[in-house]
Each structure stands twice: as structure tokens, then as C-alpha cells.
Amino acid sequence: MNIIEQNPFRILGVYTTASLKEITSNHNRISKFISVGKEVKYSSDFGYVERNKESVDQALSQINLAQDKLKYAMFWFANATSIDDIALNHIISGDKEKGMEILSKRNTYSSLINQSIVCIQLQDYKNAIDRIFKVFHNKEQRNDFVQKICGEIFQITEYDIIHLYIDTLLENFPNEDWHEIFGHQIENLTQDDIDYVINKLIESPIKAIENEVALSQLVDRENSEARYKAGENLKDKTLDSYKKLKSILPVDDLRYMKIIDSLAREILQCGIDYYNKSEDEDCIDKALVLQGYALKIAVGNLLKKRCQENVDILNNQKNSANVRAEILLISSVLKSFKNKIDSISNAKALLADCLPYLQTIKKSFGSTNEDYLKISDAVINNALGMTVSRINGLQEGSYPNISALKQDVPATIKMIYFVQNNYDYSSQIATKLSTSLSTLENMNSQLNSISGTSSPYPSPSPDSFWDTDFGGCLMRILVGAGFVFIVWIMSLIFG
């Protein structure tokens, strides 16, 4: 509340309606008291006032020019009528409510300005503005005020005095939400008044953004690290200004679109320059931060489209990098199982080990992607190949190993259920799984009817278990060729 607490009229111990003679007299008297180390008090101090030679001399110089005198007069009390005098005495004694009640009975420029000062002291800015703008927009009251403060020769237009008040108000109370305050339906405000306030409020953040964009554009575009830092600095240093503009202007306002799109365009370019020249392992992620932010704040359709295209390119490259890594991991798992014995437990372990890598690929490609399904089919085929080999081996000879079959056939059925519930696969694999499950369940029923651990239970031909696509040499080849198949898939996806 500097312009009120340190108002030059207050420092000089006078009301704004004081004559030049009274002002000069008070200045001389206060200076003499200060020179001998004494304090001086006036009824118009409205509390304790700290005075020294510098502040008193400065106060006199601050109201030396007519327009400056008018500026400070808008923020200090006037004693122009007997009503003012009575009301001000109540305010001095601490009874602001009574003072306001008395002032409200008169419709003079001085009573309205005095009410405005009290409202500012109470932080009731809405009513403070309403009272003083009533003076500004009333030609008679405005002229009375200007002539009383500056004399009859001084001239100022209605709009100039309003702009002077708004400029001073915003400068001295920068932490108030003036957009919200002036956004109220204040009776004595015009649309021109509101528009001027908005223009003043956006002036500083627009300038701040322009300056930061200009600094960023000076950074060498061939220096990837410098361009990345420029983009980060631009994003961070303009955040408050961006938020301020967004809270004041609608996004379709041309002023907002122009400045924010210039900001988004430069941040986007920083991300592009950095990525094109960078050799950092995490360059995609770092570039995405900048380009994603540019997309977030961009307004114009063409710029938003350009930002989206760049973000999509980076996301695709990121997904491809992730998928490439997961495919290599699946290949590694398949290679590790190449020389292991054919068993149901190994087949289940193969499926379990590959599943998390497949899920990562699925997130990038989607559950219906053809390449993803080929990779999933390859894993399933390898697991099924191990079970085919195992179960066919248990049936070889005249006396199949009934005991082992009783364990492995149900285990294989459970494994197929696991695949059906957790894996994605092609329609061809779906058909084979369904056929295999039916065959295994029939076999399991026959095994349950047999007692003992071995029996002349007729050994089915390979064709009676799973179709020949899963039998014999093909399944043994699949386990060994899994890695080659995955590499082939990678060549199709990544070129």
C-alpha cells in the first residue's frame, strides 16, 4: 500500500485540497523539526508517519508537476466540504464505518474519492474503483477535482485521467488479481475502461515472452545441447507469463494466438534441432518433452498439426526402439531353450518368460498388429513343439508310459488354457489350439479309465494327437529356428 502509506501529501501532513502556501509551510516546519531531532505530528497523518529530510524533500518534489500532483491526489484524502471534515475526523479516530456512512450522504468528488481511499485500505477494490470512476465519468465532478488539485489552467481528458489512475493502481498493487477485480460488474466502469486494464495486464507477460523467444533464437542451431537447454529455459522462464495470459485472454484472441504460437514454434524448433544433432541415448525422451509441451500450448491449427506430426514421429521411433529391444529379448529366451530337453515344464517356462516382452510389444503395436501376432505365434509354436515331442515320446513302443502321460497330458491342457487366457495369436493358431485341446481332453479321459503305470494302451499315430503341422521333425526344427524367425520379423518391421 505504498502509494497511500508513502503518499507525498501524507508525508507533508496535508490533505490534497491544501493550498500551495500550506504545503510549503508544512514542508519548512517539518524540515526544521527534523533538523533539531524532533518529531512533528498532524491530524491528517492517519497513524504514525516516519519522516526524514530525504522523504520530506522528495514528497515536495513529487507533487511539483500538475499531473504528478493529480496522480497522488487520487490516492489520498480530500477535505473540501464540512461533510468531509466530519467524516475524516471519524476515520482518524478509527471509526471508518461511521466515516463512510457520513461520506455516502454526499455525491461530491471529494466524498467519492475519500470513500475510494478507505475501500483501498480495507482491500475492497471493487467498491474503491466504483467510487472513483464515478468521478472520472462525471464531467462536472471530474473538472471540480482536477481544478481543485491542479488549477484552472491544467487540462486532462477523461480517458487520460482514467489511464493515469489504472497505471498507478496496477503499478502499486502488483499482487492483486486485477483481471478478476475488474471482471466484476462494476456499475461505473465502461467497456473501454476494462479493455484498457486488459491491455495493461497483458503488456508485461507478452513482452517477457517476446524477450525469451528472441534470446532462444540466438542460440546456435547446430549445437544440440545448447538448443535443448534453450528449449528448457524457454519453457520454464515463460511459464508464469503463459499462465497469466491464459487466465486473461481467450485462446481465440488474436493477441494470445500470436504470442503463444511464437513461443510454441520456437520450443518445437529447439526440440527438432536437438534431436537431429544429438547422440544422447535418451534423446527421444528429451525431445518429446519439448515437442509435447509445444503441442500442448500451440493454438493455430497448422502449428498444432506440425507439432502433432513431430510428436507422432518421435513416439513411433520410441515404440520401435522399445519393440526392437523386446524382440531381441524374446530371441534370447528362445535360444536359451534350444538345447533344453522337451518337457511340459520347459514349455510352460518358455511361455512365462516371453509373456512380459510380448505385452510390451503389444502396448506399442496393438493386439491385432500382424507382426506382433507373428512373434506371439512363434513363441506358442515353440512351446507346443516341446509338448508334442514330450507326449509323443511317452507313447512310443508297445507299452506307453501311462503314469507319465497321466501327469503330462493334464499339464499340457492347463498350459493351453494359459495360452488362451494370456496370449494373443492368429486365427490359424486359434484353430490348432482348439483342435489340440479337444484331442488332449479325449486322451485324458481314456487315461483316467486305465489303471496301472503301463498298459498295452494303443499308441496313437502322430496324426491322431495334433495335426502333422505340429508333429515330428517340424516341431524340433521350430525350437532351433525360433531365433532366426524372430530376426526375420525384425527385418520386416525395421528394414
CA distance 479 to 340: 10
**Confidence (pLDDT) at 456:** 47
Task: Outline where DSSP puts E strands in 182-252.
Answer: none
Question: Positive or negative, the Cα torsion across 404, 420, 369, 311?
Answer: negative
Indicate the SS3 state at residue 174: coil
CA distance 79 to 110: 7
**Confidence (pLDDT) at 452:** 58
Question: What are the distances in angstroms from CA 230 to CA 35, 212, 235, 259, 376?
Answer: 56, 9, 9, 18, 44
pLDDT above 70 coverage of the chain, percent: 91
Indicate the SS3 state at residue 454: strand
For the chain, which ranges sit under pLDDT 70? 1, 398, 452-495
Identify residue 335 by its one-letter amino acid code: K
**CB 197: neighbour CB atoms within 10 A?**
23
pLDDT, tens digit (0-9, with 9 covering 90-100), for 437-492? 999 999 899 888 887 554 444 444 443 344 434 333 333 333 334 444 444 444 44
**Cβ contact 86:93 at 8 Å:** no
**Confidence (pLDDT) at 183:** 84
Query: What residues are paired with 454 via a beta bridge?
Result: 401
**Residue of 388, 385, 368, 383 lying closest to 333 (CA atoms):** 383
Indicate the SS3 state at residue 478: helix
pLDDT, tens digit (0-9, with 9 covering 90-100), for 153-162? 999 999 999 9
Q: Give me 446's grid cell.
A: 481314456
**Cβ contact 10:43 at 8 Å:** no
